[in-house]
Amino acid sequence: MAVETKIDPMHQFQISPIVGNLDGSAFVFTNSALWMIVVLACITGFMLMGMKRQLVPGRWQMAAEGMVGFVNSMVEGSIGPKGRAYLPWVFTSFIFILFANFLGAMPFAVVGAHPFTVTSQFTVTGVMSIISFAIVLGVGFWKHGLHFFSLFVPKDTPFILKLLIAPIEFISFLVRPFSLGLRPFIAMFAGHILLDVFGNFVVQGLNAGGGGYAISILCFFFVAFINALELLVGAIQAYVFALLTSLYINDAVNLH
């Protein structure tokens, strides 16, 4: 009879300390911090290799310039020529989420390392969305003063409708940082749970024998498919975060 194993998909998101312990050390170095450093090292390497400013660009330079140009055209397209000032933050958040998502989906477990998806923790994406929201608030009040509140009141609407719409707009404005941070977090969270569950099905099918082998093979291809989908979703979420950030900043800069 096959051995019953309990699937524990939440284990992969556990923060485990590498230096110190979570109970009371003054300094704790966790696996999350380690993978943030790995992501940072990869981004730094990628950008430094691409910033040699050769006259005839090589592959790295093309890749780095293409990425910067992509984000730049997105920012300028949604904010306008004034948008150049906000490119550093939008590009930083874009490339950080992109690299964190991709590094978390890489099969490092084959060589014995335990990859940790940094963006699968709401603390990380939540803080990034709070920074975006703070930029929106800061820029809005800096540029327009109290006139910034006219963002909530649509133009050319009857007075009665304005009374109705302003609170709704206000609430939807307050929900923004929450939904902005929730999106990349849950996309990674859900994808990795799916991967874990179906990866367990492969092993359990092999243990069961007989008809289990067929299920096991099916699940194996499904895991490969989900992995490809995870890469796509990771790229889309990074793109959506950067796009929404630039749209929100556009609200603050141009007020409708």
- Subset of 30-49 contacting another protein (CB under 8 A): none
**247 part of the interface to another protein, by CB under 8 A:** yes
Alpha-carbon distance of 144 to 147, in angstroms, equals 5
Alpha-carbon distance of 74 to 249, in angstroms, equals 12
Determine the straight-line distance between the first and last CA of the chain, rounded to whole angstroms: 66
Alpha-carbon distance of 130 to 198, in angstroms, equals 34
Among 28, 197, 243, 255, binds another protein (CB under 8 A): 243
- Subset of 75-94 contacting another protein (CB under 8 A): 77-78
Q: Which stretch binds another protein (CB under 8 A): 94-102, 127-135, 213-221, 233-241?
A: 233-241
Closest contact distance (angstroms) between CB of 241 and another protein is 9
Residue corresponding to tokens 């979570």 = 22
Cβ closer to another protein: 40 or 168? 168
Distance set, CA 30 to CA 16, 93, 184 (Å): 6, 22, 21
* Mask for 161-200, x = binds another protein (CB under 8 A): ------------------x--xx--xx-xx--x-------
Among 145, 130, 144, residue whose Cα is nearest residue 176: 130
**240 part of the interface to another protein, by CB under 8 A:** yes
Q: Are 27 and 20 in contact (CB under 8 A)?
A: yes
Q: Which stretch binds another protein (CB under 8 A): 94-102, 134-142, 206-214, 243-251?
A: 243-251
Type of residue found at 14: Q
Query: Which residues contribute to the site for another protein (CB under 8 A)?
Result: 10, 74, 77-78, 179, 182-183, 186-187, 189-190, 193, 236, 239-240, 243-244, 247
